[in-house]
């Protein structure tokens, strides 16, 4: 017994004598975006942050703008060690009937690998495709409006059919999530799906939830922030809380952020230091 006590005491003394360990560095985040409505700005920029996403600096101007010469609203995904973006292929004033996907191994050199048609009759606009991954399944949620009703945007789900992300099925409508909603960003927490979308009528960011499935049972939980923001996207932080980014398009564009521990109650918005950043998404590098 005395020997055991001596060993325990020695262990405690060793712990107390050990030098303090430095705190773990914050996960580096990357933010994929474009810069504006001018032709020269509709290309892919990658920024990075080492302070939890409150400020970003340029990592690379890729000069990638896809086959149409226009790249907007990029959603970024890291999958099997490769980076992918899904993006809008025309300006918001020009008709578009499909969205594109590009890939890169280094965040700098990008290659277009797929063009996915909306699959909706009389499509006028196909906007803001967003990756959504659940388990081993990769999906993209895209906002589509028909030429017969350009104010009737609805989000639709497309599902990858191979690991190269070059073949996709769809579309499947997200039933219950009302018409004239754009920029849908979806995540799942526990047994609940959460969608953050822009109501294109009132110009508010709305929070919707469902426990039924990704494509059914959506219920509006209310608006977030003031009107005049769009392009919501979220990233989970090292401490387990969530950070939302929104594009303050109503004053010329730049991203603002708030945080939440439960996806329901949010802090006030504050401006992000990210020169020229617009609608985009952040992930861990």
- Note whether 87 and 116 are within 8 A (CB): no
Per-residue pLDDT, averaged over 101-122, amounts to 97
User: Per residue in 217-250, pLDDT tens?
Assistant: 999 999 999 999 999 999 999 999 999 999 999 9
Model confidence band, residue 147 (pLDDT cutoffs 50, 70, 90): confident
Q: Kind and range of the H or E element at 115?
A: strand 111-117
Q: How many other C-beta atoms are found inside a 10 Å radius of the C-beta of residue 282?
A: 26
Averaged pLDDT score across all residues of the chain: 91
d(CA 196, CA 88): 18
d(CA 71, CA 177): 27
Model confidence band, residue 150 (pLDDT cutoffs 50, 70, 90): low
pLDDT of residue 4: 42
Model confidence band, residue 213 (pLDDT cutoffs 50, 70, 90): very high
Per-residue tokens: 129 = 């495709």
Domain ranges (residues) in the chain: 27-284
Residue 281 — φ and ψ, nearest 5°? -140, 155
CA 203 to chain CA centroid, Å, is 19
Percent of the chain exceeding pLDDT 70 equals 91
Q: Decide if domain 27-284 falls under CATH 1.10.340.30.
A: no
What 3-state DSSP class applies to 18? coil
Nearest-CA neighbor of 28 among 52, 2, 58? 52
Q: Please say if the pLDDT value at position 100 is more than 50.
A: yes
Q: Please say if the pLDDT value at position 95 is more than 90.
A: yes
């Amino acid at each position: 017994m005395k020997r055991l006590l001596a060993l325990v005491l020695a262990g405690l003394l060793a712990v107390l004598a050990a030098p303090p360990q430095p705190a773990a560095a914050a996960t580096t985040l990357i933010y994929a975006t474009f810069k504006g409505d001018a032709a020269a700005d509709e290309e892919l920029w990658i920024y990075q942050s080492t302070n939890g996403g409150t400020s970003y600096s340029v990592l690379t101007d890729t000069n990638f703008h896809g086959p149409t010469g226009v790249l907007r609203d990029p959603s970024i995904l890291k999958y099997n060690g490769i980076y992918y973006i899904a993006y809008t292929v025309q300006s918001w004033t020009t008709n578009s009937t499909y969205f594109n996907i590009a890939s890169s191994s280094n965040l700098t050199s990008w290659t277009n690998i797929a063009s996915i048609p909306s699959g909706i009759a009389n499509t006028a606009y196909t906007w803001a495709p967003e990756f959504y991954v659940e388990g081993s399944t990769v999906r993209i949620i895209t906002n589509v409006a028909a030429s017969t009703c350009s104010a009737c945007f609805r989000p639709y789900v497309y599902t990858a059919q191979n690991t190269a992300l070059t073949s996709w099925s769809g579309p499947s409508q997200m039933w219950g999530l009302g018409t004239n909603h754009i920029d849908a960003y979806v995540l799942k927490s526990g047994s609940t799906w959460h969608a953050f979308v822009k109501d294109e009528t009132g110009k508010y960011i709305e929070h919707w939830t469902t426990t039924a499935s990704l494509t059914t049972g959506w219920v509006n939980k209310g608006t977030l922030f003031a009107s005049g923001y769009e392009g919501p996207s979220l990233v989970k932080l090292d401490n387990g809380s969530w950070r939302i980014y929104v594009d303050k398009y109503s004053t010329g564009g730049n991203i603002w952020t708030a945080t939440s521990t439960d996806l329901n109650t949010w802090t006030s918005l504050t401006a992000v230091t990210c020169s020229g950043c617009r609608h985009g998404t952040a992930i861990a590098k």
